[in-house]
Amino acid sequence: MTATDIDTALWNRIILHYKDAGWLPAYMYDAFDAGIDYNLIVLKKGSEEILFGWDNWMQGEIEASPVQLAELEDIFKTKLKRGKAK
């Protein structure tokens, strides 16, 4: 399931939350435009993965299980828009 149109500041806070909770980078986009025009981070903990995509036009996206997205909404007191990944 994918959450879309996530404000960049919130997207970054969510990534930090997961890193603080022990999730480790399985992949980090590292081309010259990383964090400027585009970004992609995959965090992994055990057998679970969460994909974080971002670009400067569409803002952030998070692909995760429905349970993880619901937990994020509770932790960050927000409703995440569901949609198709860009």
Positions in the chain short of pLDDT 70: none
The CB-side HSE value for 18 (13 A sphere, CA atoms) comes to: 25
Give the number of other CB atoms < 10 A from CB of residue 79. 8
- Alpha-carbon distance 69 to 71, whole Å? 5
What is the rounded radius of gyration, in angstroms, for the C-alpha atoms of the chain? 12
Q: Are 37 and 49 in contact (CB under 8 A)?
A: no
Over residues 6-27, the pLDDT tens digits come to 999 999 999 999 999 999 999 9
Q: Are 38 and 55 in contact (CB under 8 A)?
A: yes
- Residue 65 DSSP label: -
What is the value of pTM for the model shown? 0.91
